[in-house]
Structure 1
Amino acid sequence: MEDNQKGADLSTAKKLLSLVIENKKFEWRKQYISGREVKALVNAGDDVDLFLSIVKPWEDELIGDDDLVDLARPGIERFFFKNFLWLTINDKKFKWYEQYVTGKEVKLLGNISLEDDLFLSIQKPWNDEHIDNETKVDLARPGIEHFFSKEIPAEIKIIVNGRERSWSKNTISFEEVVALAEGNVHNNNKAYTVTYLKGPKQNPQGEMGKGDFVYVTNKMIFNATATDKS
């Protein structure tokens, strides 16, 4: 019975029901209006989501195309639109209502641990981009941005000057490689050249200098060559 009443025409009522869409007033002949009907009144496109304004501290309500809103409730119902952008996280599609998103926000949206590594997929032959928690990514660029995560193992093994070492961070600095190579013995009379192989996509191979750091992966190889300072 209630469903039939929702579609009932109020044309015989003394006055029409009012609603506001993006600060513009409209009148409606039925008690209920669907999200699709609200959009049709203002020719809204598919790249916006419809919201019903709710008094604070409550959150505004997202209204789907088939959702019905009762216009006969006390007061005038106010609707507004939000533009959204698509992104994917670990192959799942999500909406975001701002131009920029941080690595932390991507992790929270995708239910990813804040400790895990996050990457932005980049078209080959370029390397995927590592995204820190505070890094901002522009979602308004052409195409859909694709993010994926990798769990950081509790402990990995790296090879430093032919010796296997345990490592529990996702990066390692030049100074940390030298310390592992020298057994944490500091020697001011030596300078070092550090090279590495078999690294992750961000830094598969190369050379490090003072102050540099690289991302690590299991069985990554480092060579620290010492020379006396002149």
Structure 2
Amino acid sequence: MQHKFESGIEDVAAAVESGREVRGDGPYGILIGDEKLVYRAAVVHSAVVTGAQIVTAAGVADPVEYVAFLVLQGGQLESLRPDEHVDLRSAGAERFVVFRSDRTFRILVDDRTFDWGASRITGATIKRLAGVKAHAHDVWQVLPAGGDHVVGDDDFADLTAPGVERYMIKPILVRVIVNARPREVHKRLLSYWDVVKLAFPDAVPQPNTVYSITYARGPHQNPEGSMVDKQQVWVKDGMTFYVTVTDKS
């Protein structure tokens, strides 16, 4: 997401992206994210800032209960002590994340180590950390005893259990049944025409042709029902669809 700063404010992210040196005098525009990695613009007046100053720039009234992280070029987070200094003129020092927390948690995502400042993290946020396309990938929590399971985009994974939580990013693969035939899809949200083409691959919209769709065994968002044109449904393994075609001519 692009953020615009007023004239006269040095946009640190824009400087880093273009490969030019960050100028020597402020003020400086930086990006500060929350525990969902949603960023907003903030302005600081010194090129060298502390962790405490980053927390204050995030609009926090009581910085004692918060912790700041520097977002490195590879997406990893590096914690900043309140009195630790960061030079914004150094390449990559343009994004930060601030959490309300008194501790950090370590996770592994595809064997890459990330430190996190909250006791929970959503599947969508793990995807952002890993830098993958959310709509094309799933997050799987790897359990020591087996039984790995998907962490949905809006699901919260608990990081407070002993040990380091491990996750894997995999391309989405969902097995559904369409007109009693197994089909594989690579996204978790299907449109009306996605389903029609699973049953009738050559189908195209025609004024005198109507496709009727019913489904069952779906996820909690839509466990069963019917579909009409322009509708979408969430899918899961084992979901069943029945598609019929009617000629109105």
TM-score category of the 2 structures, normalised to the smaller one: 0.3 to 0.5
Higher Cα Rg, which structure: 1
| TM-score computed with the length of structure 2 as normaliser | 0.42
| TM-score computed with the length of structure 1 as normaliser | 0.44
